[in-house]
Structure formats: structure tokens, C-alpha cells
Chains A and B, each alone.
Chain A
């Protein structure tokens, strides 16, 4: 007769699958709309051999974000990152649970050009279901999952896993599948990011977001260029000015993660000076991407 504690038998893949199931049960309990994307939620046909999920990626209806945060907080999850500092696209915030690990709570999919609420509706309307930990978890349609995977590859700096994703879901796909994905690209207004994923980005040199996708789809771009790309892609002078101000400030969330503790004023000051020094060097020796 054996009943034991999780700590004695923790298995990473089990942890992630349980996290998907439990998070979905929490969403169901509050009537929240959420789609499980990537990782374990990915349709098996879209997974190349060896592709494993390490955390839960959850796209939440924008109007339900606050309620989702509340229910997570009530059940042992702690927010460890913020939208504003999570990525150049400000699309996800990071949560952690002592037993279940990490969760990325997404408010949008970078590369989809529709407003966030319309983008969610676009994916929600065609949704399917994946059984994860014996819980019915909503997922985008298989073709939409392929699109999400391609858009993710477009901002993965050309890493090996993303190259394999692109090969698997796009280059090896049959003509009919490619056509369906292309139709989704148009509906989702994701032409530029999609082009970055499949190696066709130069067609969009004139678009304001071109440089942002160039920087994020290729390895080795410097931080100064990335900030410039973000400012260039941003809509409206206020947003551009806000990004310009943030570009010079230290990302405390990132620093906290690196140091594994709340950074002191001295550490923040040192980081500020280090960033300024790096920026000067990058600007002085810039190899322009354009």
C-alpha cells in the first residue's frame, strides 16, 4: 500500500501535464476563457521528435486576465515577471508554483496583428480540445497551432528547436496545409512575423515592424538595436517616448531573476552603469542590420 509525496517522485513531464490540468480546472471554476498553446498542448502531429514542453503557456482572453491572476494567486501561484518586462513584445508574464513549476500567462501572441481581443476570438472560435491530465483543455485548431508555433519561431533568434519547428510544420507540410496556414496568416494579419519565420522577411523591409522581427529572428543582435527596433515598431508618439524612457532604465525583474533575490539600490546602480557602458560600445561599433 503506497501513497507518497510528490517530492519523492517528481517527474518533469508529469509536473507540466498536471500543471496544464490544474490551471484549466481553475479557469473552469471561474468561467475564464483560456487556450493552452505550445508544449504539451501541441497537437502530436506538430511535434517533432524530441520536442518537450517545460512549462505551461496559457493565452487568456484579455478581459479575463485580472480574474485569471486572482485565481492563480489564491491557489499558490506567484507572479515572478510582468508583461512590460517579460519580452520585447510585452506579451506574457511569468508565474511560478512551488509544486507545479512555471506558467507563462499570455495576453497576446506576438506577430498577430489583430487587436488582442480580436486575436483571442480568432483563435477561440476555431478551438479544439486536448486532454491533459484527464482534463479537457481548450487549444487552438491544429492549423492555428501551427501558425502560433511559426510565429514563436520567428522571435526565437534562429535557435535550433525553432528551425526544426519550421521544418516540421511548414517546410514538410503538404500544399493543402500550407494553403490553410497562409489563409490564417492573412486573417490574423501576421504576414511580417510569418515571413520572418519562413525566411521571407526582406519582402517587408518597408514595414515599421520589419527591424523588430529581423532582430528577433536572427542570432546575435545587440540590445541597443533591439530597443531601437521596438521604438520604431511602436504605434504613436506616446508609446515611442515611453519605450525610449524604459530603454535606459534597469529591468528589475530580469535582474531579480539573474541574482535570485530582490536587487539592492547598489546592484541596480551597477547594472545601470553596465548597461550604459554596453550601449555606448554597441552604438560605437554597431554593425547595422539594415
Chain B
């Protein structure tokens, strides 16, 4: 089962309910709303565990948020701010 963790070597600034994540190349990704929440929950968990955690935090069912969470994780992986293992 694939698990996700935050990449090492990131610069992170939280400001005004947004999370700004910078990588070594200087590219910056801005996370807000549920994307920020997913980022906060990424800690080496599997996708299913993450979906469960996020669903608990936003008080929705896992089925309601599963697709968006997977899509968001993939986007974060492509931006090199999370690593899938």
C-alpha cells in the first residue's frame, strides 16, 4: 500500500490560512482549504489512513472526499512537496 510523507528540504510559511511550500528550485506551491489540511495530515500514512483522518477533520464521509484527496496527493507529489513510497 502506497504511503505518503512530506519531502525533506522544504521551506514552509503559514500565513492567513494558507500554507506556502517552497522547494530547492524556488518553485512555490500555495495550499489552502482542504489541500492545506491534507498537507498537515501527510505523515507517512497510507492513502486510506489519510482519507480517514481528513474525513474526520472535515466531518464528511470518506467516500465524499476520497477522490479529491487522491487527486490532491498526486498533485503534491508532482510538485515534489510530498513523496509516495
Contact = CB atoms under 8 A, between A and B. Distances in A.
Interface of A: 1-6, 8-9, 11, 13-14, 17-18, 20-22, 25-26, 28-29, 75-77, 97-100, 132-135
Given A14-B13, A75-B24, A134-B12, A9 B18 contact: yes
Contacts of B22: 18, 21-22, 99-100, 133
Contact of A21 (B11, B38, B72): B11
Interface of B: 9-13, 15, 18, 20, 22-35, 38, 68-69, 71-72, 75-76, 79
A254 B31 CA distance: 38
Contact of B26 (A17, A20, A97, A134): A97
Contact of B31 (A3, A21, A132): A3
A133 B14 CA distance: 8
Contacts of B31: 2-3
Given A1-B69, A4-B30, 12 more contacts: A2-B34, A3-B29, A3-B76, A9-B30, A11-B15, A14-B13, A21-B11, A22-B23, A28-B9, A76-B25, A99-B28, A135-B11
- A-B CB proximity, top 8 nearest: A21-B11, A133-B11, A6-B28, A18-B22, A3-B35, A134-B12, A2-B33, A1-B68
B24 A134 contact: no
A1 B11 contact: no
Contacts of A22: 11, 22-24, 26
Contacts of A9: 18, 20, 30
A58 to B, nearest CB: 14
